[in-house]
Amino acid sequence: MRVRWLAAAALCALGALTLAGCDSKIGTAAVVNGSKISESDVSRYLDPSADDASGARSTALQYQIEQKVLTTALRGKNALPSDEDLAKGHDQALSNLFNGQLSGDAANQALAKVLGQNGLKASFGEVLIRTVELENAYSEAINASQAQDAVAELAKQHIPVSVNPRYGSWNAQSFTFTGLGSKQLPSVVTLGTTLPGDVKSSNSQ
């Protein structure tokens, strides 16, 4: 059974993570469990022709953080698949980004279009897809039947994350960029997904 988190949902309610201002060297966007994400790692996915790169930059960092968190968690459980094994789920992960409504070349083209409209290069699509592959692997590793179960279990791993303050304020409860929600991410990754910036409003209802 595939648990549908979709990328970014894994950072929702990760109460065990420590996200704080990063005092590391200039050029560092974030550090996850001692593993650095550089500003160049973020910038490489930004469309230089985009009018406003701030949202795209945050998105590019968000997913790279999640990848490292998931990789660390899977490795800690001795359940990290090889790149080859993860790649076997590529087509399914791509289709999952569109709720199964698109697949193959049609999904690839639609994904590239959506990313372009949001200031990101088409190459960032592989980051999204790999993140979904890792989400699926983690859910299977812990036999999670629901996304919230996988997220709760991931939080228990106490994986340290620190982020450069240039990315804004941080929400200590949702452990992500303050206010990051559905409207700030490419629409393809928000279908049926509750994001960290949406948590406060949903909990207040």
Q: Phi and psi of 172, rounded to 5°?
A: -70, -20
pTM (2 d.p.): 0.74
CA dist 40 → 26, 44, 45, 61 (Å): 11, 6, 9, 11
Average of per-residue pLDDT across 50-69: 85
* Range of weakest confidence among 7-11, 73-77, 85-89, 104-108: 7-11
Tell me the percentage of the chain whose pLDDT exceeds 70.
Answer: 69
pLDDT of residue 178: 59
- Binning pLDDT at 50, 70 and 90, where does residue 134 land? very high
Tokens of 144: 């999670």
Q: Can you give the pLDDT at residue 26?
A: 63
What Rg value do the Cα atoms of the chain yield, rounded?
A: 16
Per residue in 21-54, pLDDT tens? Answer: 434 446 888 888 999 999 999 999 999 988 777 7
Q: What is the mean pLDDT of residues 180-198?
A: 41
| Residue listed under structure tokens 């980051």 | 127
Closest listed residue to residue 160, CA positions, set 50, 76, 46, 53: 76
How much is the average pLDDT of 165-170? 65
Residue linked to tokens 């909990």: 203
